[in-house]
Structure 1
Amino acid sequence: MSNVLGGFDKRLKEDAEYLKELRSLAEKVGVSNQVNFITSCSTAERNALLSQCLCVLYTPKTRRWHREFCLAIAKLIEDPQMAQRMGIHARRHVTDSFSTKISGWHLNQYLVNVAGMKEG
């Protein structure tokens, strides 16, 4: 089963139309029984889903890229070893680049630079 999790606001007509379009597309290509559209979930549920997923995609609002995203996902599904290698490298990149320690260091450098500009 594949999960499609997204920011969904039932008050927005655009979100409701897009969800309807995605469900229709899943039906059209014959995968509707394999796709679970999750429109809202708790942080704990989201974290559990993320910890178990093959990949995470952030799709821009322009839909012209969706075909390319689908092709990329297909490659990951067809080559699980490649997907695992990419996941390991991605985790390492995120940890090395965005950890609390690294983010704190970057913020500190920014503040030192700003303070230095005010003194000069």
Structure 2
Amino acid sequence: MQDEHFGIVPLEAMAAQKPVIACNSGGPVETIKHGVTGFLCDPTPLEFSRAMSRLVTDPEMAVRMGKEARNHVKQKFSTKTFGEQLNRYVLDAFHRRIE
């Protein structure tokens, strides 16, 4: 979907070691690393079919991108990472309040 919000589906796919093909706008721009964890495309059938063709004709690339996608999700979007960031925000807000 063009201008999709953050969206959990691409993250779930990447967590399952699948490269993602998505529109080059909205939430996917924040979660997908173009050419590394998937492809960000203009919202046209031609662009999406080119990305799909690349994955089908180079299965090793698809596996490699899938592994990168899984690592990316673990590093940037895991519960642990979310908790650490939330804790930092809370502590920063607390310290600003007492200063």
Category of TM-score, reference length = shorter chain: 0.5 to 0.7
In the TM superposition, what is the alpha-carbon distance from 1:58 to its structure 2 partner? 3.1
- Structure 1 residues 102 and 53, CA gap change in structure 2 (3 angstroms): closer
Q: Tell me the secondary structure at the aligned position of residue 21 of structure 2.
A: coil
Counterpart-to-counterpart distance in 1, 2:66 and 2:50: 18
Q: Give the count of matched residue pairs.
A: 72
Instruction: Name which of 1, 11, 21 aligns with 1:57.
Output: 21
- Structure 1 residues 75 and 105, CA gap change in structure 2 (3 angstroms): same
Counterpart-to-counterpart distance in 1, 2:76 and 2:18: 21
Q: Per-residue displacement from partner, 1:46-101 (whole Å, max 9, x unpaired)?
A: 8xxx588954333358x953233321221111100001001001101111221111
- If you compute each CA radius of gyration, which structure gives the higher value, 1 or 2? 1
Identify which of structures 1 and 2 has the higher relative contact order when contacts are C-alpha pairs closer than 8 Å and 6+ apart: 2
Relative to its length, the structure with more helix (as a share) is: 1
Structure 2 unpaired stretches of 5+: 2-8, 27-40
Alignment partner of 1:111 is 2:90? yes
TM-score, normalised with respect to structure 2: 0.57
Instruction: Name which of 63, 69, 76 aligns with 2:48.
Output: 69
2:21·2:51 contact (CA, 8 Å) conserved in 1? no
2:75·2:81 contact (CA, 8 Å) conserved in 1? yes
Q: Deviating runs (4+, > 6 A) in structure 1? A: none
Alignment partner of 1:101 is 2:65? no
2:55·2:61 contact (CA, 8 Å) conserved in 1? yes
Alignment of 1:1-120 (within 5 A): 50=13, 55-59=19-23, 60=25, 64-66=42-44, 67-120=46-99
Letter of the 1:65 counterpart: P
Structure 1 unpaired stretches of 5+: 1-5, 7-45
